[in-house]
Each structure stands twice: as C-alpha cells, then as structure tokens.
Amino acid sequence: MTSALPARRRPPLLPGACLGVLGGGQLGMMFATAARRMGYRVEVFSDVADCPAARHCDRLHVVSLDDPQAVVRAAADVDAVTFEFENVSAAAALALAARTRVRPSPSVLHTVQERRREKAFLVAHGFPVVPHAVVTDAATLAAADRVGFPAVIKTTAFGYDGKGQRRVADRAGLEAAWRDLGAGPVVVEAWVEFVAELSVVAARGDDGAFARFPAVHNRHRDHILDLTTSPAAFPEAVGAEAARITAGVFTALDLVGVACVEFFLLGDGRLLVNEIAPRPHNSGHLTIEACACSQFEQQVRALCGLPLGAPRQLAPAAMANLLGECWGDGEPDWPAALAVPGVSLTLYGKAAPRPGRKMGHLTAVAATATAAEEAVLAARARACRAAPGT
C-alpha cells in the first residue's frame, strides 16, 4: 500500500548520521545495535543510567523524558529521533520535531499512548474493536453497564504487561477496581472469549511504502507475553485480514516508522484490534534471526528515509521470554539452553532479576513452527531448571 507524500520527504540520512532514541530499555538496546551495525552513531535518552541501551550506544543522556526543554537541549547533535516505548512525553517529541525529524510523529504518539484517544481513533476509522465505554469519574461509572459483565477495566495511560488492568465481575467489582486504580479516567472493555491473540509488526516509509512481517501467534502468561510462533497456524484468510487492517491503521495514522497492531481472534474468525504499539514489539524479536530484515533494521531504515528492507521470513521461528523467575535458583544454565539446535540467546543486561521482569529472550529457528516452538521451550526449561512458568 503506497501513498504520495512529496511534501514530507527529506533527503535520506546516511550512515555516519546520529540517531536518537527516547528510552533506554531492551527495545532501545536492539535499535542501537542495528543502527550501529549499519554505520550510524546512536545517542540514548533515558531517565536512568543503568539501562540496557547504555552499553550499546555512543552516548547516554540521563534526562527526564517528561521535560521537553531538557530533552531538546540534550539532543542538540542528533539528526533524527525515534522512541522505544510510548510512555514518553508527546510534548517532548513535539519540541524535538520542531528542529529535527521524529518518527513516528508526535501526533501518532499522542493518539496511541492514551487508550481513550486510541479507541476513538479506531472507532472513527471503522476498525473493529472490543465493545467498550469510557469512565471519567464516579458519575460516569454507569456508562459501563452497556458493556456488560464480566468486563476489563484499564487505566488510560501507562499500562503494559497487564499493569493498570483488572477483570471485574459486576458493578460493585468495577467500582472497587476503579478506586484501586486511582479513581481516574479508565476504559471499560467487554470480556471477549477470544481463541487466540496475534499481532502484525510492520513498517511504513515517508514515501508511503508499506512492509509487514507475517502475522504471529502470541501466548501470554499472567498478562505478559510468554511465547510467539511464526508463521501462525491460522487460516490464510485470518492473516490476510490482519495484514489489511494493519495497513489501514498505518495509513489512517499517517504513521512513518515501525509499529505493531495486536489482535484478538474470535471463534467465528473475526478479528478485533486490541492495541497499537507505535514502536517495535516483543512479538517481533524473532525477526532478528528469522527474517531477511529485522524489525529494528526496519526502524532504522524508516527513521532515516531509506528504502524499507524485505520482511520476508527465511525460516519458521519461535521466541520465548525469559523473566526474572528464571534466575530463582541462580544464574540460568545457558550452555544447556544453547545446546538445543537452532536456539539463540539475547540478554538485556538488567542487573536485578525480579518476578515478571523481562530479562531476555530465546529464539529458535527450525523446519516448522511446531519444531521451533518445541526447541525454544526445551531450551528455556533447560536454562531455567524448570522454574515456574517455563
């Protein structure tokens, strides 16, 4: 899918230019690794010094990402900016955009980083979503009645990996959960009996070129992504519809960069958009080993105005997250894990493992998606000595 955008196009940024990334987590780490491999310098902006990206960049700026003036001052030498998570100040992104290119744009960040705006965008453009209602205060709690129960209450911002969410069975439970979450604005969603969760990671260039990776199948444990397999074992029509919706979302947002659209698959084959992540995604990590161009190289290409890479998948693959629980009996047994054929290890360099914290991931490539899944789960069980959740 392409569109003509001549007014926005700038000359491409060539290797040697300096790229900035707002956020120093593992996504920033993997972006920096891809960018430096391609010959770019990378500056990372993080509110903490001991972050995964710190050891993979040319310069680290410890600065509040909620302080637009401080971010702009720190970014004086940066030629383009992206971000590795959406919980950064849209005002800071807007201030940066006044002096350099920011991809995705501050308007995209503003829309999708807050659930009310994200839902309103999806509804306004006719994309299928879970029935929902917006509650802003005690007087509007009754709006949730039209959604029905059971339901899921979600804070409108700063929610990921299940944080800021509660499942409620009735109005009394809703009111209690609302107070527990801070009595602020929330989105109340109907509880849907989906049969699977899937996602599509894609990239869009400033010339309108669109390149998507195959839809992947995601399985969660305690609201945190646990396992991703690709290609997903869904009917071809499901993948085609997910790709169509993803392309439509990118076009409607006028998004330039890399993003992920997450879906619920219902029993009748329908897809509902769950969320939009305006940056690379945990479910796309397997593209590093399995695809001709990874999601992080695509992020570099889209940011710099280069031609997008081929998202072609070269081999079936699976990815399993490594959470802090894996360190429960000491350092995991990495030699045992890496003895499984086709398995690769990526650790994020976080100093303190704790339950639920993403410390790294394992990827396996194999002849089939099933074989890749079996290999990555076997490797994780060996590494974590069959710790809970493995």
Residue 118 maps to a domain:
no
CA distance 234 to 238: 6
Q: Which of these three, 51, 79, 112, is where a domain ends?
A: 112
Same domain flag for 146 and 272: no
The tens digit of pLDDT for each residue in 268-314 reads 999 999 999 999 999 999 999 999 999 999 999 999 999 999 999 99
Closest CA to 125 of 104, 136, 146, 111: 111
Residue 388 maps to a domain:
no
Same domain flag for 315 and 201: yes
Q: Which of these three, 77, 112, 147, is where a domain ends?
A: 112
Supply the pLDDT for residue 2.
33
Same domain flag for 147 and 282: no
Work out the average pLDDT over 133-155: 90
Q: Which of these three, 190, 220, 237, is where a domain ends?
A: 190
Same domain flag for 265 and 341: yes
Same domain flag for 166 and 199: no
- Indicate the average pLDDT of the chain: 93
Supply the pLDDT for residue 159.
58
- Whether the pLDDT of residue 387 is over 70: the answer is no
Distance (Å) of CA 92 to CA 95, 249, 298: 5, 24, 24
Supply the pLDDT for residue 142.
87
- Whether the pLDDT of residue 389 is over 70: the answer is no
Supply the pLDDT for residue 279.
97
At 317, which CATH number?
3.30.470.20
CA distance 303 to 308: 10
The tens digit of pLDDT for each residue in 340-383 reads 999 999 999 998 999 999 999 999 999 999 999 999 999 999 99
CA distance 68 to 225: 32
Same domain flag for 153 and 265: no
Residue 300 maps to a domain:
yes
Contact present, 26 and 36 (Cβ < 8 Å): no
Report percent pLDDT > 90 for the chain: 87
- Whether the pLDDT of residue 161 is over 80: the answer is no
At 101, which CATH number?
3.40.50.20
- Whether the pLDDT of residue 3 is over 90: the answer is no
Cβ-count burial of 328 within 10 angstroms (0-12 exposed, 13-18 middle, 19+ buried)?
Answer: middle
Same domain flag for 241 and 293: yes
Supply the pLDDT for residue 315.
98
Domain that holds residue 92: 18-112
- Whether the pLDDT of residue 390 is over 90: the answer is no
Same domain flag for 272 and 332: yes
Same domain flag for 176 and 300: no
Residue 281 maps to a domain:
yes
